[in-house]
Amino acid sequence: MSSTPIQFIKGVGPAKAGLLANLGIATVEDLLYLFPYRYEDRSQFTPIAMVQAGVHQTVCGTIISARRNFYSKNRAVEVMVGDKSGRISCVWFNQPYLVNIFKEDQEIVLYGKVDIFSKRLQMVVPDFELISKEDRSLNMGRIVPIYPLTKGISQRYLRKLIDTCLGLHAAELQDIIPQDVRRRHDLNPITQSIRQIHFPPDATHQQKAIDRIAFEEFFLFQICVILRRLSIVNKTGITHKIAPSLIEDFKATLPFTLTGAQTKAIDDIAADMAKTRPMLRMIQGDVGSGKTVAAFFGCIAAWTNRKQAAVMAPTEILAQQHFFNFQKLFAQGAFKRIRTALLISSTPAKEKKVIYQQLKEGEIDLIIGTHALLEETIAFKELSFVVIDEQHKFGVDQRALLTAKGSNPDILIMTATPIPRTLCLTLYGDLDVSVINEMPPGRGLIKTYQFPTAKAQAVYQKVRELVLKGSQAYIIYPLVDESEKLELKAAKDQFLHLQKFEFTGLRLGLVHGQMTRQETDAIMEQFKRQELDILVATTILEVGIDIPNANVMVIEHAERFGLSQLHQLRGRIGRGAQNAMCVLLADPVTEESKLRLEAIVATTDGFKIAEQDLNIRGPGHYFGRHQHGLNELKMSNPITQLEILEKAREDAIILTKRDSQLSAPEHRLIKNTIRKRYPQYLDLILAG
Ligand code: ADP
Ligand code: MG
């Protein structure tokens, strides 16, 4: 059986089974679903004399000599490898024991980037594999799979084990994809695909196997996403009455003219709210594009229907900002009678009690808050409209907790993390989307520059000049989890240093994650009231405040920040009419960090940045790891395999239309696989 524990396969045993567990492998089936992350075509190698500098290549040869370089600080091991055509030197650092592994005349395969070093070709720290005479058939002369490894498990061992298990159990694998779907798309049976994804006979079959597995992954994931949507929109929701005059009144009340994109989003919201089926919509737009204003329209529409609305934000600062914004915008005019309240965890207990009571009695029309809104004791009289801000900061289940406080309320999700269309379809195929791709007029431009840390003095000088002309500035330091204390000390020291030297005579404030909320708020308030000139901060600013006069930002060690983090940070400036300046102080070393910095200097367009981010990091890392199930997409990539994704989605729609509970016997395997791979979705789907 393919559910046989891997331990019982010949050549494994308890010790190896323990190691395999580190790769997530418990059963034969798990092993067969451990896919290569790349392949090497070892049917013919590039002759060493023909390798090109600057590209990744695979060569094969025998070891001519291996020696430790005793003079090098990084304990280099140098190996000379030759084939009939020539020889190449290879070097590894800080692994002196390697010298005992490399034996003369041993056959070796090397994969890595070839460089030219003192006019000689060299491979620096290549992947290598020693080839033994016995098991050449799996490891040479064919397209060879390269697997993710763990300590104590080698490529050769894995290949052999997988080959054994394929022989014993591949025939038992069951097809998750129903036969009619397979036929429609000319997909091979699972047994054949799994065999060929490990040991493809040629490039054509390799691609076919990859596409087939990708289809299966997309198909399952799309079923999850669609069923989640159905679990919401198949219910009877609240039908709001929305008079055309309401939109007019709303526009008339605002102190500014809505952008075209905002108007469109508001029209979308109005149309959804008027329907009986619950709304499930996401507003995407860059920081500052005016999403919140559009969301407020929905809150007001709920009020005109004598119902309640709730806005949940991920941080207290953000919740407060929404609250004050609402008050500022609507305290006068047609909507001044809307009763609003702010609920955050630091709201005094007494006040909370009153708020709970008023929510229950329907005496509050709009509640704005944080996770505090999820408290079990909170009940509404009639919650009909829910806004979730920065939803990727909340789990899917938290969203469900809040909406459960109403009876199928309309749901609006806001996100400032722009999501390229393809990924959006993969992840949020269950949501309708409104995109706000236009900034309110009258904003200044943001110019971004990158300088090495060595230029910091000159940068500070420039900041000083701008501050003396009336600007306010942010100086941002990274806080990295592992060494938070050290980093914090660095930020504090730097703060004192800046205060004493570069910025003498100016008013500086410091905020960081270890301060209490009151402390942070006090400083933020001072900064807002322009009683401080420069705010030194750790990344807690990321989702922060809206201070138009602050239009200078310096990001220190910018190479340590992720691309979307940099974009979010930079979004704190350029919120006023003045032009803004952002300086990245960075000494990037890795290729990735160079690419990130280039991207952020090149554009302020959040969608372009998001696409770059995806290209650089790949979809699995784009969002927080935990919630989206993207990690389960192993062979599939929504960016490069869009066509397959779209086909799989079509069929997932057909299947779920026929059997939205996955209760048909032929769908049992789908349900069981979802239970295993996407437990977070299954609960939502089948509970609802
Ligand atoms: P987001 O939620 O997308 O980050 P907000 O809705 O908070 O953006 O808007 C940012 C700021 O711009 C707020 O102060 C808001 O009042 C203002 N604003 C929103 N829409 C417009 C507009 N069309 N014209 C001018 N200012 C606007
Ligand atoms: Mg509705």
Rounded to the nearest angstrom, the gap between the alpha carbon of residue 282 and the centroid of all alpha carbons in its chain is 17
Centre of ligand 1 from the C-alpha of residue 390, in Å? 16
Q: Which of 387, 415, 443 is the last residue of a domain?
A: 415
366 and 471: one domain? no
Query: For residue 206, what pLDDT is reported?
Result: 94
Residue 390, by phi and psi: left (phi above 0), alpha (psi -120 to 50) or beta?
left
477 and 491: one domain? yes
Asked if the structure places residue 485 within a domain, the reply is yes
* Ligand 1 proximity of 256 Cβ (cutoff 6 Å): yes
- Evaluate if residue 543 carries a pLDDT over 70: no
- Evaluate if residue 481 carries a pLDDT over 70: no
Q: Is the model more confident about 234 or about 652?
A: 652
The pLDDT tens digits for 6-65 are: 999 988 999 999 999 999 999 999 999 999 988 988 888 889 999 888 888 899 999 999
23 and 85: one domain? no
Residues in the chain: 688
402 and 530: one domain? no
Q: Which of 554, 586, 618 is the last residue of a domain?
A: 586
Centre of ligand 1 from the C-alpha of residue 575, in Å? 9
Asked if the structure places residue 683 within a domain, the reply is no
Specify the ligand 1 atom closest to the Cα of 258. Answer: 23
Query: What are phi and psi for residue 24, nearest 5 degrees?
Result: 80, 20
Specify the ligand 1 atom closest to the Cα of 286. Answer: 3
Asked if the structure places residue 349 within a domain, the reply is yes
Asked if the structure places residue 55 within a domain, the reply is yes
411 and 348: one domain? yes
108 and 162: one domain? no
Asked if the structure places residue 656 within a domain, the reply is no
Asked if the structure places residue 558 within a domain, the reply is yes
**Local confidence band at 545 (pLDDT 50, 70, 90 cut-offs):** low
Highest mean pLDDT among 55-59, 69-73, 646-650: 646-650
Q: Is the model more confident about 480 or about 148?
A: 148
52 and 23: one domain? no
Mean confidence (pLDDT) of the chain: 88
Centre of ligand 1 from the C-alpha of residue 9, in Å? 62
348 and 366: one domain? yes
The pLDDT tens digits for 419-467 are: 777 677 777 777 889 999 888 888 888 999 999 999 999 999 999 999 9
Asked if the structure places residue 673 within a domain, the reply is no
3 and 98: one domain? no
Residue 597, by phi and psi: left (phi above 0), alpha (psi -120 to 50) or beta?
alpha
Asked if the structure places residue 603 within a domain, the reply is no
CATH code (residue 122) = 2.40.50.140
Beginning with the edge strand found earlier in the chain, give each strand of the sheet holding 508-511 in spatial order. Answer: 446-451, 580-585, 550-555, 472-477, 534-538, 508-511
Containing domain of residue 533, as a range?
453-586
Highest mean pLDDT among 199-213, 396-410, 425-439: 199-213
User: Can you tell me the mean pLDDT for 381-401?
Assistant: 83
The pLDDT tens digits for 237-251 are: 999 999 999 999 999
**Local confidence band at 155 (pLDDT 50, 70, 90 cut-offs):** very high
The pLDDT tens digits for 224-237 are: 888 888 888 888 99
- Evaluate if residue 485 carries a pLDDT over 80: no
- Evaluate if residue 487 carries a pLDDT over 70: no
User: Which ligand is closest in space to the CA of residue 280?
Assistant: 2
And the tokens for 92?
A: 């590894």
CA dihedral angle for residue 636, residue 639, residue 644, residue 649, rounded to 10 degrees:
90
- Evaluate if residue 597 carries a pLDDT over 70: yes
Report DSSP state, residue 239: -
Task: Give the 3-state secondary structure of residue 539.
Answer: helix
- Evaluate if residue 336 carries a pLDDT over 80: yes
Specify the ligand 1 atom closest to the Cα of 328. Answer: 16
| Structural domain count of the chain | 4
CATH code (residue 26) = 1.10.150
- Evaluate if residue 74 carries a pLDDT over 60: yes
471 and 528: one domain? yes
**Local confidence band at 482 (pLDDT 50, 70, 90 cut-offs):** very low
The 3-class SS string of 33-64 reads: CCCCCEEEECCCCCCHHHCCCCCEEEEEEEEE
Query: For residue 670, what pLDDT is reported?
Result: 93
Highest mean pLDDT among 110-124, 191-205, 607-621, 672-686: 191-205
261 and 398: one domain? yes
CATH code (residue 515) = 3.40.50.300
CA dihedral angle for residue 620, residue 626, residue 628, residue 632, rounded to 10 degrees:
60
57 and 129: one domain? yes
